[in-house]
Amino acid sequence: DGGITQSPKYLFRKEGQNVTLSCEQNLNHDAMYWYRQDPGQGLRLIYYSQIVNDFQKGDIAEGYSVSREKKESFPLTVTSAQKNPTAFYLCASSPRGGPPPEAFFGQGTRLTVV
Amino acid sequence: KNEVEQSPQNLTAQEGEFITINCSYSVGISALHWLQQHPGGGIVSLFMLSSGKKKHGRLIATINIQEKHSSLHITASHPRDSAVYICAVPFNTDKLIFGTGTRLQVFP
């Protein structure tokens, strides 16, 4: 079945360590997105990519980095520079660039930094 | 003021009740999304609509572009409808702006 796979579902890291969240899609979508969700807030865009080898910062990119070497994969690295990394992270993809006309979401990764 | 506002924030209902969740937005849009987030966190797209009304099973979504308002209705609600319902609108050319969600709990 086609879809978006995020792994792991739960992730624990010590403060000061970088951590990479995986996002893979087999939908042949061009665009991929990373969102952060905090309690009581709407999803906020971290980074997005509309084509391989290209990506743009979203609203809250500081302390994060991404790569898009393959169409299927859009990993997110939470660096030690991110001041409040504990959050729920969601990856999404859509068939083409521009406002996601139809967005598909992964199951999310809950990151806890201790 | 948030660009996308939902009401109510929390909603409880008895099984069988008719549910309405509202979404108002201040940004210009080409379409509005309704999403469902289950307790595990995964999000499913329910509807994308740019005018009028759409229906899928017991779910009905309406939108009034002039008033910048959309509603999501659930008829004959069931405990399995318990989830967070989120509306989202496209902004500029490349991103969605999300509401904070409405947490719905339906009790048997």
For A80-99, write each residue's pLDDT tens digit. 888 899 999 999 998 875 55
Report CA Rg, chain A. 13
In this prediction, residue B65 carries a pLDDT of 87
Report which residue type is found at A95.
Answer: P
Backbone angles phi, psi at A19, to 5 degrees: -145, 140
In this prediction, residue B44 carries a pLDDT of 87
Q: What is the pLDDT of residues A29-38, one digit of tens each?
A: 998 999 999 9
For residue B30, pLDDT beyond 80: no
Rounded Cα–Cα distance for residues A95 and B106 (Å): 34
Contact check, Cβ <8 Å, A42/B31: no
Q: What is the pLDDT of residues A47-79, one digit of tens each?
A: 999 899 999 999 999 999 999 999 999 999 999
* Contact yes or no for B23/B32 (Cβ under 8 A): yes
Chain B residues within an 8 Å CB radius of A48: 94-95
Q: What is the pLDDT of residues B46-64, one digit of tens each?
A: 988 888 999 999 999 999 9
In this prediction, residue A101 carries a pLDDT of 58
Chain B residues within an 8 Å CB radius of A88: 41
Running DSSP on this structure, what letter comes out for residue A2?
-
Rounded Cα–Cα distance for residues B14 and B77 (Å): 8
More confident residue, A68 or B90: A68
Contact check, Cβ <8 Å, B45/A103: yes
- Cβ-based neighbour number of residue B92 at 10 Å: 10
> Who's near A1: CB < 8 A, 6+ residues apart?
none
- Distance to chain A for B23, nearest Cα, Å: 13
Residue of A nearest to B3 (CA): A42
The three-class DSSP label of residue A98 is coil
Chain A residues within an 8 Å CB radius of B102: none
